[in-house]
Structure 1
Amino acid sequence: MRPTSHHRGVRLRVGALLFAGLLVLSGCAEDPADAFSIDGTGSVEGLVFFDVAEDGLFDPASGDQALGGVGVAVQNRGTGATFAGGAATTDASGRFAVSGLPVGTHDLFVDTLSVPDGVSICRNPLQVTVYQNEPRFAEVRGRAGCLITIAEAKELAIGEFAIVRGIVTSFPGQIESSTTYIQDESAGAKVFSGSLEGQGLQVGDQIEIGGVVEEFSNDFNFESVVLRSVVANVGALSPQVTTTGAIAASGSDYTDPLQGALIKVEAAELLEAFTASGNEQNSTIDDGSGGTTIRVDDGVAPRGDLDTLLTAGLCYDIVGFGANFNGAGQIFPRSLADIVEVPCA
């Protein structure tokens, strides 16, 4: 029987499949080629400077300063091993150059011991990518300080400079003149500086400040403050519920998490009438865990009015700041609205 067109089509398709299979087999018969690699090298040039204006641009007219004599090193990423010939020192114009580097992404490390006092390198090392036969430029910017948490600032020596960022929990002048409170995820603190007044700050704003770490009668605060940035209306923080006994116990150590933080005690009994001292009025409250001092500044309530507004023997929910005077724990309400009469437990 003569093959029909259908039979011829089947034979052609079978033949094509067999030929394709032979091609696949012949392709697998030899080992694959070696992995692709680049044998060339590249270089890194750069500038190290003190960014006084903190705008990311080198502009001597704004006070920026080139940093000479600073050691830099290009290192194998994540290992701390400097490539052969990968170290350099900046010249008087803050410039450096390193050549003969392998292609790839590496770490550019700055020897902070060679950086002048008062300048911090906040990103160290920087990552830099080297291309074959193509110089790469890198800028290393120093700042007056690096952003840290408030808790870390409280661990610094008195007189050191720190940059922190936090939510405003009491705006300037709400409690007393030149006083603001801020808080981040780690701790809270008082800012004692008139520089924040007149800035329109409100509770719930986020601010970044630079200031000197100080203490007064064992109470921590930032002084000589410069307002660096403001983000309005980030959101007000809720107070941490605690006890009068815990406040009293926290007073001896200003690094205690309650010190400077926005806190709340519940159903605390006012044990006695207020007495005036300096620019504040003081009494004792106790929620059953042990007594502590409630301090109400004259800016919060007129002197002499508290004994008519608040009654000894009654109980109150009180929001305020954990603080201390010479190690004795205290709570500072921000306003009379922070003190609400409730049934005694």
Structure 2
Amino acid sequence: MLYHLSFFKRNKGKYDAPIFIDSTDCEIEYDAISNSQSNFKTGVEKITASIGDFVLVKEFISGKFIYFGVIQSKEKQEFGACQIFSLLDFDFVATRISGKSFENHFKTLVINNLINDETKDIPHLVIYVRTNTEHLYQPSNPPTVTNLMKYYFNAFKKYNIVWRFVEIDTEGNLITELIRIESHLKIKDNISDFSEWDVNVRTANTDNENKLLIVNKKTTSSESPLILATYFLTKNNELTIDSNHQNIERPTATKVYIYDTEQEDRPTFENVAKSELSGNAYSHEITFDVRRDSSVLKEKDIFLGLLVRLTIDGQQFDSVLSYFKREESFIELKFGNIRSRLTEYIDD
């Protein structure tokens, strides 16, 4: 299969010369929680685009979109690129915040820290908000220095929100969108289109807190704190206020949240619990391959954030697609946000 590579200047405008390469000369990765690099062997001695510019990859005959990335490296006849969120690999000041739309909050952060920063050289970036998701972020010692790209990774893990490329319009603007993915599928392991299954399950609550005390900020006594609510996380990753629930791992590990009853736009106790105990939400990693010509799971229906109920050996896993990679005849899929190669978990 032949791919058509177009190159665009970071500060707007298109380079004249596209490149045509075989799909086997590309190693393209789509990753929701890691800044993985895709690599391209061009066969061209020198490409006109520079590091920081953009590459748009489409199928030559059909024109189907394949990949959009920011060029990260150039060496001889090869170059590497990362996904759109690699533009955010820098620090900003994070504070405590809650609200009705993480998408609008994140858009504001990108506008203030990237688009409006003349030194970042990308004023033509456009972000459309497609959904609105209630959110809560409570760093332990605000304000705190946080990497904006990792802040986005947290949004995917907590809310299944993706920031993705849409198109470069006729005026040369870089159009993107923020959307919470809610599409669901059901997949079973007894279909021949799927192969190379690998399931790794991490016992729920093994290394994380599963009891949350929500304590009034006005508390003045450590012996008698003003407890507003108590929540537990079950082995099935469900919230409960029933301390006698049979699926609570014992002994429990306690986490404390200080709640300001006088702050504006106060989150509900339940939303606080969902946020503070969400580190246990996905405790498995499942990988398998699907044939690219499959009629059961079509290639057009594969995208980051896709929610899937997987049935494997009669056991069900509710999971999310966090990574995929196209090969010549199949697509490698990875589900769940506990990744074996992920060595650092972000505090949220």
TM-score by length of 2: 0.28
Structure of greater relative contact order (alpha carbons < 8 Å, 6+ residues apart)? 2
TM-score by length of 1: 0.28
Q: Which entry has the higher C-alpha Rg, 1 or 2?
A: 1
